[in-house]
Amino acid sequence: MNKWVYGFGGGTADGAAEMKNLLGGKGANLAEMSRLGLPVPPGFTVTTELCTFFYGNDRSYPADLPDQVSAAMAAIEKTVGAKFGDAGNPLLVSVRSGARASMPGMMDTVLNLGLNDVTVEGLAKRTGDPRFAYDSYRRFIQMYGDVVLGVEHFQFEEELERLKRGRGLTLDTDLTAEDWQSLVGRYKDVVADTLEAPFPQDPQEQLWGAIGAVFGSWMNQRAITYRRLHDLPAEWGTAVNVQAMVYGNMGDDCATGVAFTRNPSIGENAFYGEFLINAQGEDVVAGIRTPQPLTLAEKAAGNSTLPAMEEIMPALYAELDEIRRKLEAHYRDMQDLEFTVQKGRLYILQTRNGKRTAQAALKIAVDMCREKLIDESEAVARIEPASLDQLLHPTLDPKAKREVIARGLPASPGAAAGHVVLTADEAEAKAQMGETVILVREETSPEDIHGMHAAAGILTTRGGMTSHAAVVARGMGRPCVSGAGEIRIDPTTRSLTVRGVTVKAGDLITLDGATGEVMKGAVPTVQPDLSDDFATLMEWADATRRMEVRANAETPEDAHTAIKFGAEGIGLCRTEHMFFEAERIVAVRRMIVAETVEERREALAELLPMQRRDFVELFRIMHGLPVTIRLLDPPLHEFLPRSAEEMAEVAKAAHADPLRIRHRATQLRESNPMLGHRGCRLGISYPEIYEMQARAVFEAALEVAGADGTTVTPEVMIPLAFAREEIEILRARIVAVAGEVEKETGTKLNYLVGTMIELPRAALRAEDLARSAEFFSFGTNDLTQTTFGISRDDSAAFLPAYQAAGIIEQDPFVTLDPDGVGELVRIACERGRIGRPDIKLGICGEHGGDPASIRFCESVGLDYVSCSPYRVPIARLAAAQAALAKGTEVATTA
């Protein structure tokens, strides 16, 4: 018999922390906390394997599951001293999701399950609080009706508002027990009218309905979107956790809250969180009420007038603080806790590794290493490489003028300016059209995730530091200001008002997520000042990784940025990008439309000093580090004159008839220029172009070496080759030019000649190519296009459908396809080493900055990766993690 159900509570548990894949993160941690003797309400976990069964068997359950659930429920009843469905002493439970990776708010939850028209009376008598009992019942009907029965949430909210208006009340807390009882009747009518069936009264029917709804929510749209954004496989599935209810809303000796063992925004080693007196858990994260600070230090820092838990519940706070220390020491990571105080007794409902900003992640990892909780390798492995993007982009210029119109909570650091949008759909639509937007909402919900992802920043008027907006924004690296309560949003006029200032939808505002400030207009930004923790972690990463990290750069600005971020050379200098400047483009066009060698050489002579100057600057900045220079690889259509004015300009410079220029331009146009007369084909047809570039490279190398004694060893790269003969012909030209420069200067040159592997044939013929090439650089942008037969410029229109259909997991232009493109890279590496055992191997496509692709590069033994300058730190960290992972695999295999 399969074991589908694992119990926990009362100091024991069937599961443990290491069973996360089977029990999900929440279930595994509940089991672990029970084993640690912490005050965890008892419950049971239905495994992720059951989720797989559920979807594989037309949403049905195995025959032995009901008996296992009944036995587990009986164990809860024994521990709690109440019985599920009992009229006098009812056991009530929560039913929650729990995937192996945290997905906050993405799946469904049902609370207060087990209430019906009979048990609600038993709850009222047992607690002596009919108001609490009927409030719990109406919450249950609303949540169960929405999550399980599919009744729209707003229908219940309308009934609540109608009741309050009829009673002349504005706050839920003003409603009496009789009001809640009346509302329960209205809610049941809503269900009956909508579904033409009564609200279910049988607790067993309620339980199985909730279990099915939680499993079903694994495939809801917001969960699918979240998994896509965070690269989580659909086949993982979710577990379901059924747990005895405890209540933070039974009076003033009750509370509920969320806490972090360290500050999740800045990483400071200080207890951090929020709580509410006489409230349920959803009240804290939903932003319905303004939460109170946990500690006196938080109260002072936030200038709050609300009492802190530390001062009004000192004994319970001390107990919670001790649990915080115990959990952090046990898990050796910052924890995110949910807790409830029921009638003066503390319960821990959940712990998980807390989501944090990149800044906080760095500080926590470095501090924990210094505190001897983890070692340097684990600190390096802890940081998500892509999260470093949060630290590598501009922040607000402190010297710039700013018109602050409101302040909220600094929920997620960073700064962004954009046009105001008021809905998630509008944010997504405008972002797709290239507009930078700020999503402004009273509060966000999981349904807004697509708009939050599209927005540059998020502003909410309600909610605290642990609200949905805050947590999701921190995970995404979006700046967020939450709880800006002074702002009023008017959906009718599509505007915001605050302190007499009106901002309309479409107007520009700026957010500073580090201070909580909201500013009118766009405020200028400055480059980030990276912390000492960043430098420390990068040192540890550099000591760990095997592969070098270079940058793709062709301008001095790019090269300086690359050096600042730790690049160890330039892995791709695209020389064609140097030709778009106004002073050069006419000469380039003259070169392209030239019909004779003489005309071409005349244009090239004009370009030579410009190219030489370009390379001198790069060589000086890189100061002896390797620089790989790709010879000209336009597609030609990128440079051809198009307008009559451009034609006339080229004709004038070439002293030619404009009609002739127009005719030549027409001749050169291609049906498929990406596979046309480009790359080394251009060099074969017009060798004088590559001769000019080679001379510029070699003269620049000698100029820099002569000026300061720096050893410059340029790597000259021939693009788009598919045959050894192409490389041989062009290599001979390059070597001849080098010989001429050596003869002219009397100085010996050091250089390498290699090729880009961008075509499947080149990968398959790598052994032959390597006999003429001293290095390979995999141009995986084109290699992906030519392997898949799709254009990266057009594929966005259909690749999402392929991902949704499960044909591909990732966009192959973002993450290297390991099975097709990767197999060609692997073949080329193996065969290239046969042809030249000491061949240097690297990658210079966009994949060089993608962590998953870098892991693949480590697996095939590339010598370096090259990426955009701002992704260099990401690549350094990813390369270190790839080396650690490979070392672990080797050790495990051994």
Distance of CA 822 to the CA centre of its chain: 24
H or E element at residue 454: helix 449-454
Q: Is 69 in contact with 24 (CB distance < 8 Å)?
A: no
Cα–Cα distance for residue pair 787/779, rounded to 1 Å: 12
Distance of CA 806 to the CA centre of its chain: 21
Closest CA to 695 of 592, 604, 612, 599: 612
Query: 231 by DSSP, 3-state: which?
Result: coil
Q: Distance from first CA to last CA of the chain, Å, rounded? A: 34
Look up residue 313 and give its DSSP letter. S
* CA distance readout (Å), 648 to 596, 605, 660, 669: 19, 21, 10, 18
Cα–Cα distance for residue pair 275/361, rounded to 1 Å: 24
Tell me the backbone φ, ψ of residue 182, rounded to 5 degrees: -65, -40
Query: 142 by DSSP, 3-state: which?
Result: helix
Report the amino acid identity of residue 881.
Q
Cα–Cα distance for residue pair 409/518, rounded to 1 Å: 10
Query: 646 by DSSP, 3-state: which?
Result: helix
What residues does 480 pair with on adjacent strands? 412, 458
Tokens encoding 260: 């972090």
Q: How many CB atoms lie within 10 A of CB 789?
A: 6
- For the CA atoms of 847, 851, 855, 861, the dihedral, rounded to the nearest 10 degrees, stands at 50
Catalytically annotated residues: 468, 844
Q: Is 691 in contact with 733 (CB distance < 8 Å)?
A: yes
- For 376-390, b where at least 16 C-beta lie within 10 A, e where not — what string? bbebbbbbbbbbbbb
Q: Is 368 in contact with 485 (CB distance < 8 Å)?
A: no
Tokens encoding 486: 């002074």
State the Cα angle at 258 between 252 and 261, rounded to 5°. 125
For tokens 């906080």, name the residue: 360
Cα–Cα distance for residue pair 321/262, rounded to 1 Å: 11
* Most distant pair of Cα atoms in the chain: their distance: 103
Tokens encoding 132: 């609490």
Tokens encoding 488: 């009023």
Cα–Cα distance for residue pair 51/211, rounded to 1 Å: 10
Q: Is 28 in contact with 336 (CB distance < 8 Å)?
A: no
Cα–Cα distance for residue pair 470/13, rounded to 1 Å: 33
Q: Is 350 in contact with 29 (CB distance < 8 Å)?
A: yes
For tokens 């002596």, name the residue: 128
Cα–Cα distance for residue pair 823/840, rounded to 1 Å: 19
Closest CA to 70 of 50, 90, 46: 46
Report the amino acid identity of residue 530.
L
H or E element at residue 68: helix 65-80
The three-state (H, E, C) secondary structure of 470-488, written as one string: HHHHHHHCCCEEECCCCCE
